[in-house]
Amino acid sequence: MVHPPVHTPHEVLPARDRDAEITGWALAAGLGDERAAERFVDATYDDVRRFVAHLTADVRGAEDLAQETYLRALPSLRRFAGRSCARSWLLAIARRVVVDRYRRASARPRIADTADWLGAADRAQPRQLPGFEESVALADALRALEPGRRRAFVLTCVMGLSYAEAAQVLDCPVGTIRSRVARARRDLAEIWRGPAADGGRAPLPAAA
């Protein structure tokens, strides 16, 4: 079992330097450095938990999914060559864990009664996440976004991944990520602008 990290104060590094540090720990862990493996988990656990909670709208279940992510990822570190950021590599595994969980559920009709399993799971941003009170307006707005746009926006604008890294996580072209993020920003601007001139909320554009 992977234990959630106990956070201690540390120097805050720029995102690029932080990702390089995390990737270095991943490479060292792949060579058998147990301390590096601990640092890798400590540095990435919150990102993984937030990401799977976002996809599933289930904070309690997110802990189990995060555990499953590391159970898959840690033995695979020996094959991680560092050609991409280790954090985006890990989040791609987390996404596959969520996909596999819902595919298993979809095979049992009594549990999953919709073919659009990921869209249904992705409709709500969990209110129990740490810091939600400070970002309630953003969370409410994100819930209104089309799921593909929301995932692209969260990965790039909330979690700080590059477009290329987000494309790797979501297994789609970089151009698709750019388009989804641009449209998500436009949608958010419409949401925050408030009701349209005719007295109703402006409709969101069709999904990308």
Q: Could you read off the pLDDT of 5-22 as tens digits, one per residue? A: 655 444 455 567 888 999
CB 38 within 8 A of CB 30: no
Three-state DSSP at 33 gives coil
Which residue would you say has higher pLDDT here, 30 or 117? 30
What's this model's pTM, rounded to 2 decimal places? Answer: 0.61
CATH code of the region 15-193: 1.10.1740.10
> How many angstroms separate the CA atoms of 148 and 127, rounded?
20
Nearest to 40 by CA among 83, 95, 87: 87
CB 149 within 8 A of CB 180: yes
Q: Could you read off the pLDDT of 44-73 as tens digits, one per residue? A: 999 999 888 877 767 778 889 999 999 999
CB 181 within 8 A of CB 155: no
- As beta bridge partners, residue 195 has 201
Q: Could you read off the pLDDT of 123-175 as tens digits, one per residue? A: 433 444 444 343 456 667 777 888 888 888 888 887 778 898 888 888 899 99
